[in-house]
Amino acid sequence: MLSSTLPRTLVCLAGMLSAATASPCAAKPSNGCGKALPAGQTLGGVATVNITSNGLARSFLVFVPPTYKRGNPTQVILSYHGGTKTALQQLQLDDLTSPEFNTKSMVVYPQGINDSWQGVPGVTIDDVQFTADILDYLQGQYCIDKQRIMATGKSDGAGFCNVLACDATLSTRIAAFAPVSGAYYVDTLPCEPTTVVIPCQNARTDIPMLAFHGGNDSVIAYLGGERKNACLPTVPHWIEEWAARENLGAANKTSPVAANTVIYQYSRPGEQNLVSLVYDSINGHDWPSTAPNADNQNAGQAPTSFNATPMILDFFAKHSLTQLV
């Protein structure tokens, strides 16, 4: 189905590490190291932060992990909500603040204007700048490891992860991406989902990408097509384009993950599974979870045979920027 060697320059692979294992790459602490938490924030708590970006009032939620220390650089995960959803709903969905899965990473939930994101047809808000402003704020207020900033999201939020990965600046600030049920819109018609040219200005050729998509997704179809007067590529075409950008070739390793689920992995010598797609043939437009969540309790949906969240955390644990632009 899915289906040249370059020197490693920007990504430090930590091998087969678990999410709880420290990266072997030396941390790059931010200016906020040594500062006390902002007023009203507590270890293990969630707070709302308001900033101004491009003259607009914007907000995001911040989860401070219970193990956070002002002198220890901490990994940050940006998690973007789906269309018509909110930052709080994404927090409740992705389980990244659950102590079962994460006690060490700071998680940030940006709020889109009109609950949407740049990259969706008709959206004109500069959410790339908003993300850059969030990162600047975080690095000034908290002890952040600037080499370990990650991004994930659902649906339109996952599509925005692709926008960030394809941005010449943000692709050098965010180490790795894990979009779920992504809406990867291309502003062109007529729509040829298997061959549509996907614009991308990524400034690295070693961007770790772990995507998830369901074969029964009735919102963002796995086989793509016209939607909102734009073109959705097939997910296989989209992931193959990422493999091509990173000089990984067309061949992939296919492995079982769980019932009805496989992972397609693209690698090159010295960098294993740099680009991967987890495909569940029966899952719909859901954040994959074996436990009930807001997605899989909808009519016609059900829990999946695997959890995306620990896979995402394990993936992020293996990657870190080694050079900062």
- Sorted by where each begins, the domain ranges of the chain are 31-321
| Alpha-carbon torsion angle 123, 54, 142, 59, nearest 10 | -50
Q: Judge whether residue 210 has pLDDT over 80.
A: yes
CA distance 79 to 58: 15
* pLDDT of amino acid 20: 35
Q: CB under 8 Å, gap of 24 or more: what pairs does 263-271 form?
A: 264/1, 264/2, 264/3, 264/239, 266/239, 266/242, 268/4, 268/5, 268/6, 269/5, 270/5, 270/8, 270/13, 271/8, 271/11, 271/13, 271/206
Question: What pTM value is reported for the model?
Answer: 0.91
Q: How many percent of the chain have pLDDT more than 90?
A: 84
Q: What are phi and psi of 137, to 5 degrees?
A: -65, -50
**Given this model, what pLDDT does residue 34 score?**
96
> Which pLDDT does position 26 carry in this prediction?
67
Assess whether pLDDT exceeds 90 at residue 290: yes
Q: Are 108 and 134 in contact (CB under 8 A)?
A: yes
pLDDT of residue 300: 83
Give strand pairing partners of 12: 320
- Which pLDDT band holds residue 268 (cuts at 50, 70, 90)? confident
The amino acid present at 18, given as its one-letter code, is S
Write phi, then psi, for 227 (nearest 5 degrees). -155, 135
Q: How far is the C-alpha of 84 from the C-alpha of 98, rounded, in Å?
A: 23
Q: Take residue 293 and report the two structure tokens written for it.
A: 């969540």
Whether the per-residue pLDDT at 324 is higher than 80: the answer is no
The band of 250, judged by pLDDT with boundaries at 50, 70 and 90, is confident
- Ranges of H-type helices in the chain: 87-94, 127-141, 156-165, 235-245, 308-317
| CB-based contacts of 124, cutoff 8 Å, min separation 6 | none
- Looking at every residue in the chain, the average pLDDT score rounds to 91
**Model confidence at 280, in pLDDT bands (50, 70, 90)?**
very high
- 249 falls in which pLDDT band (50, 70, 90)? confident
Model pLDDT for residues 58-103, shown as the tens digit of each residue: 999 999 999 999 999 999 999 999 999 999 999 999 999 999 999 9
The CATH number of domain 31-321, selected from 3.40.50.1820, 3.40.50.10860, 3.40.50.80, 3.30.70.100: 3.40.50.1820
Euclidean distance between CA atoms 60 and 53, whole angstroms: 12
Tokens standing for residue 68: 């956070």
